[in-house]
Amino acid sequence: MRIIGLTIAALALSGCMQDMGASGDALARHAAKGVVNNVVASKFPGVDATPVTDCIIDNASGAEIVTIAEAAVVGTSQQTTDLVVAIASRPETQRCAASSYLGIAL
């Protein structure tokens, strides 16, 4: 029963975020950042997760951000982790992270 409740909450949350325009986008990004930060910290130990997290969020599509943000409500699944790692593997995300660490534009 709890899983059904969490699923309904996640669906409602994703619908609300999409309907709220800029406010919904900001809410989704904030929720997604927490999830991404945890995934980065667990998958890439020893790496400062903050700049990598920002780059992942900045290079994710709106739908990907909503999907990741839903994990803040229902919990992180393997699919969520795989999505975060896939976004982190994109060339633009890697350039962003490298630039953040080196302090220069690449």
pLDDT at res. 94? 94
Quote the DSSP letter at residue 21: T
Classify the C-alpha dihedral 47-49-54-60 as positive or negative.
positive
9-41 burial by CB neighbour count: b if 16+ within 10 A, else e? Answer: ebeebbeebeeeeeebeeebbebbbebbbbbbb
Distance separating alpha carbons of residues 60 and 63, to the nearest angstrom = 8
pLDDT at res. 76? 93
pLDDT of 69 higher than 60: yes
Whether residue 38 contacts residue 68, with contact meaning beta carbons closer than 8 Å, is answered with no
Domain borders along the chain are 2-102
- What does the pLDDT look like over 3-16, one tens digit per residue? 444 445 555 555 55
